[in-house]
A and B are shown apart, each in its own frame.
Chain A
Amino acid sequence: MADPVKSIVTPIRLEYDYTPGRATSRFLRGIARHCILGQECPKCHKVYVPPRGSCPACAVPTEREVEVRDTGTVVTFSIIRVPSENIHFELPYAAISVLLDGAGIPFFHVVQDIPLDQVRMGLRVRARWVATEALAPTIASIECFVPSGEPDAPWESFREHS
Chain B
Amino acid sequence: MRDVAIISFAQSVSARESERNEVEFLMPVVREAIAASGIERSEIGFTCSGSSDFLQGQPFAFVMALDAVGAWPPIRESHVEQDGAWALYEAWVKIQTGEVESALVYGFGKGASGDLGEILALSLDPYCVTPLWPHADSIAALQARAWIEAGRGTERSLAEITSRSRRAARSNPHAIVSGDETPDELLARPYVASPLRAHDCAANGDGASAVVLAAGDLARSVCSRPAWIRGIDHRVDPASLGVRDLTRAPSAELAGLRAGVGRDRIDVAELYAPYAHQEAILRQALGLPETTNVNPSGGALCGHVMMSCGLQRIGEVARRILSGTADRGVGHATHGPALQQNLVCVLEGE
- Interfacial chain A residues near B68, Cβ < 8 Å: 54, 59
- Interfacial chain B residues near A29, Cβ < 8 Å: none
Q: Is B67's beta carbon under 8 Å from chain A?
A: yes
Q: Quick check: A17 and B19 within 8 Å, CB to CB?
A: no
Q: Is A80's beta carbon under 8 Å from chain B?
A: no
A59 contacts which of B18, B31, B110 (Cβ < 8 Å)? Answer: B31
The docked-state distance in angstroms from the alpha carbon of A149 to that of B138 is: 64
Q: Is A52's beta carbon under 8 Å from chain B?
A: yes
Q: Is B36's beta carbon under 8 Å from chain A?
A: no
Q: Is B119's beta carbon under 8 Å from chain A?
A: yes
A5, closest chain B residue (CB):
B127
Q: Quick check: A17 and B113 within 8 Å, CB to CB?
A: yes
Chain B contacts with A in 45-96, Cβ cutoff 8 A: 54, 56-57, 64, 66-72
Q: Quick check: A21 and B126 within 8 Å, CB to CB?
A: no
A56 contacts which of B18, B22, B71, B110 (Cβ < 8 Å)? Answer: B71
B69, closest chain A residue (CB):
A59
The docked-state distance in angstroms from the alpha carbon of A23 to that of B21 is: 9
A18 contacts which of B20, B113, B118, B130 (Cβ < 8 Å)? Answer: B113
B21 contacts which of A16, A21, A58, A59 (Cβ < 8 Å)? Answer: A21
- Interfacial chain B residues near A25, Cβ < 8 Å: 19
- Interfacial chain B residues near A14, Cβ < 8 Å: 54, 57, 114-115, 118-119, 122
B18 contacts which of A19, A53, A54 (Cβ < 8 Å)? Answer: A19
- Residues of A in contact (CB 8 Å), total 25
Q: Quick check: A15 and B31 within 8 Å, CB to CB?
A: no
Q: Is B27's beta carbon under 8 Å from chain A?
A: yes
A25, closest chain B residue (CB):
B19
Q: Is B41's beta carbon under 8 Å from chain A?
A: yes
Binary contact track A120-149/B, C-beta < 8 Å → 1, others 0: 000000000000000000000000000000
A21 contacts which of B20, B54, B127 (Cβ < 8 Å)? Answer: B20
Binary contact track A1-34/B, C-beta < 8 Å → 1, others 0: 0000000101010111111111111000000000
Q: Which of A15, A18, A54, A59 has the most CB of B within 10 A?
A: A59
A20 contacts which of B21, B57, B126 (Cβ < 8 Å)? Answer: B21
Q: Is A87's beta carbon under 8 Å from chain B?
A: no
Q: Quick check: B114 and A24 within 8 Å, CB to CB?
A: no
Q: Is B190's beta carbon under 8 Å from chain A?
A: no
- Interfacial chain A residues near B71, Cβ < 8 Å: 56-57
B21 → chain A closest CB, angstroms: 3
A47 → chain B closest CB, angstroms: 15
Interface size class on chain B is: 35 or more
Q: Is A42's beta carbon under 8 Å from chain B?
A: no
- Interfacial chain B residues near A52, Cβ < 8 Å: 21, 23, 64, 67
The docked-state distance in angstroms from the alpha carbon of A10 to that of B124 is: 13
- Interfacial chain B residues near A59, Cβ < 8 Å: 27, 30-31, 41, 68-70
The docked-state distance in angstroms from the alpha carbon of A105 to that of B302 is: 42
- Interfacial chain A residues near B181, Cβ < 8 Å: none
Q: Quick check: A56 and B113 within 8 Å, CB to CB?
A: no
A72 → chain B closest CB, angstroms: 23
Q: Is A102's beta carbon under 8 Å from chain B?
A: no
A54, closest chain B residue (CB):
B67
A59, closest chain B residue (CB):
B70
Q: Is B184's beta carbon under 8 Å from chain A?
A: no
Q: Quick check: B110 and A54 within 8 Å, CB to CB?
A: no
Q: Quick check: A8 and B127 within 8 Å, CB to CB?
A: yes
- Interfacial chain B residues near A15, Cβ < 8 Å: 114-115
Q: Quick check: B113 and A19 within 8 Å, CB to CB?
A: yes
Q: Quick check: B70 and A56 within 8 Å, CB to CB?
A: yes
Given the interface pairs A16-B114, A19-B110, the reply to whether A54 lies near B27 with Cβ below 8 Å is yes
A24, closest chain B residue (CB):
B21
Given the interface pairs A17-B113, A59-B68, the reply to whether A22 lies near B24 with Cβ below 8 Å is yes
A14, closest chain B residue (CB):
B114
A sample of 14 more A-B contacts (CB under 8 A), given A15-B114, A17-B112, A52-B67, is A10-B130, A12-B122, A14-B115, A15-B115, A16-B56, A19-B113, A21-B21, A22-B20, A53-B20, A53-B21, A54-B67, A57-B70, A58-B70, A61-B27
| Closest 5 pairs (CB-CB, A-B) | A59-B70, A21-B21, A57-B72, A56-B67, A16-B57
- Some 14 contacts from A to B, beta carbons below 8 A apart, are A10-B131, A15-B115, A16-B56, A17-B112, A18-B57, A21-B20, A21-B22, A22-B21, A53-B24, A54-B23, A54-B24, A55-B67, A56-B70, A57-B72
